[in-house]
Structure 1
Amino acid sequence: MHLFDRDISLIAQEPLRFAGTITDNWSVNGNPDGGYIMAMLGNAILQKSEKKKLVILTANFISRSCQGQAWLAIERIGSSRQFERWEARLQQDGKEMVRAFGTCTDDEVPRENRYEKRPPTLAPLSDCMALPEIPRYTIFRHMDVRLDPGCAGWMSGKLTDRSEQKGWIKFRDDRSYDQLSILLLADAFPPPVLASQGVIAWVPTLEMTVNIRTIPTTKWLKCIFRSHFINGGFVEEDGELWDEKGELVAISRQISQFQKQ
């Protein structure tokens, strides 16, 4: 079993209630990565949904989760011929930490593809900068992230006027992709604002949505994450994940607080 699968595994306690353990293997500044938490919630939904394609998951991060025991409860809140909609909650020490809403389908009807944007243009892998292991950022021990040189200057104090991160990503252990791993991948790059603002104290996510379009089969994914507006103490981050064949894998959006050091 791959580490990621072990770390999102759940034990059924009641028909719609599960126990899990949040590990320290997917941490950002010592805190569980939001995409990792979403993968646990998505796993709970898929345990019970009759429709097995999770296509949308939106999570509201109410309080900061921590390493240790967690309880997950799910409820089906709607169903139609094409879709099931679920609510999922994660609690620790009797306190609700995250609430999520998921949409599942089993629709296999071929659909039209029409893209009005192209995949990001990236430097070759050999020219990109591999993110090193960073204390308290354990996610980079397990994710192989290669930043395009054009947005990696912040690591040496060279900032740009674009809040953008783009590059390549895969699991270091070459785990294959599925719906749950895509939730993690959508939150595995450094925040785009680092490219323009430098290393800041904290950009805690308040809400995140991932829309999964297809499951990739290529080894690497090409990703781009962009922020346009820092105001009112908030910043948005819009993400795109593409496979090496030029197919869109997922889009994401998260809203975070912006706190400068």
Structure 2
Amino acid sequence: MGHFDDETAIRHEGDGRWTTSITDRWNIGQTANGGYATLAALRSLSEITEQPDPMSVTTHFLRPVDAVGTATIEAELVKRGRTVSVGRASLELDGRQRLTTTGAFGDLTRDVGADGAVTVAQPEVSPPERCVPRAELDQGVELPILDRVDVVIDPSCARAGGSDRAVVSGWVRFADGTDPTTMALTMFADVFPPSLYPLMGSVGWVPTIELTVHVRRRPAPGWVLARFECDDLAGGRMIETGSLWDSSGALVARSRQLGLLLER
């Protein structure tokens, strides 16, 4: 197994309970990346729904996942269907509930109806070798997660405060060469700098209140292209919309995130 599968693995303890080991290798600063923190809950929901692909995932982050050790997941089946099954899960660490997740799961290799030409066009982005590694950006926060994922940013949005648009685009892949999966797309949707960075400069850690990811297809091997835009900022609360495309150019996920732009 690669780092991703190994470090998001779960152990079934019976009676709707699982455990997982939380590591700081996927941290943004002192806090676990939200997409990584959600994965153990998603794996429990895949088991309880008996479906392989998370098609719709909504996670509310109640408290930061800012410790390491054994976490407990409790999951329940809400509805079992032939094409879509729904479950709910929560993650507890050090006696405190950290997040809750609702997921609709299915099998994305099975067509269930019409297939049309309605999609989101892939944007023009510099190839990965011409992009700027995220580690070189002035972000105001340590990024241990960059030992686990390669994230590179298009030069047009790689300079803090260097753009008149709140847009970040670039590429992501696992650093160890593991192929992307539908499970990984939830994490990939949460590993880029905040889209406010090129507009407002170094904004540090922007904690997520809620993250929703709609997975559209199983991704092909290789780099995943991403584009994120903050389309609403009011009172320190930002909304960001994202899209992910695989190496074949197919749209594989859409995301919507509500986050906090905290006073520095």
CA distance in 1, matches of 2:91, 2:242: 25
Determine whether 1:7 maps to 2:7: yes
Matches within 5 A, 1:35-74: 35-66=35-66, 67-74=68-75
CA distance in 2, matches of 1:150, 1:40: 35
Counterpart code for 2:257:
Q
Query: Deviations 1:38-90 (Å, cap 9, x if unpaired)?
Result: 11111111122222222111000011112222100000112333211100000
Q: TM-score with structure 2 length normalisation?
A: 0.92
Counterpart position of 1:249: 252
Identical amino acids, percent of aligned pairs = 28
Counterpart code for 2:87:
W
Conserved in 2, the CA contact under 8 Å of 1:75 and 1:88?
yes
Matches within 5 A, 1:23-172: 23-66=23-66, 67-106=68-107, 108-109=110-111, 111-132=114-135, 136-154=142-160, 158-172=161-175
RMSD over aligned CA atoms reads 1.7
Determine whether 1:179 maps to 2:182: yes
Q: TM-score with structure 1 length normalisation?
A: 0.93
User: How far is 1:116 from its partner?
Assistant: 4.7
CA distance in 2, matches of 1:4, 1:136: 20
CA distance in 1, matches of 2:16, 2:54: 17
Conserved in 1, the CA contact under 8 Å of 2:119 and 2:251?
no
Query: Deviations 1:121-148 (Å, cap 9, x if unpaired)?
Result: 1012222112227973111112111110
Counterpart code for 2:100:
R
CA distance in 1, matches of 2:189, 2:133: 18
Determine whether 1:236 maps to 2:239: yes
Counterpart code for 2:111:
V
Conserved in 2, the CA contact under 8 Å of 1:29 and 1:136?
yes
Matched length: 258
Conserved in 1, the CA contact under 8 Å of 2:120 and 2:251?
no
SS at match of 2:92: strand
Inter-CA distance 7–116: structure 2 relative to 1 (3 Å threshold): closer
CA distance in 2, matches of 1:117, 1:11: 38
User: How far is 1:241 from its partner?
Assistant: 0.3
CA distance in 2, matches of 1:46, 1:233: 35
Moved more, 115-124 or 91-100: 115-124
SS at match of 1:25: helix
SS at match of 2:24: coil
Runs of 4+ in 1 over 6 A off after TM superposition: none
Counterpart code for 1:231:
A
Counterpart position of 1:209: 212
Conserved in 2, the CA contact under 8 Å of 1:201 and 1:260?
no
User: How far is 1:34 from its partner?
Assistant: 0.3
CA distance in 2, matches of 1:191, 1:10: 29
Counterpart code for 2:219:
P
User: How far is 1:244 from its partner?
Assistant: 2.4
SS at match of 1:228: strand
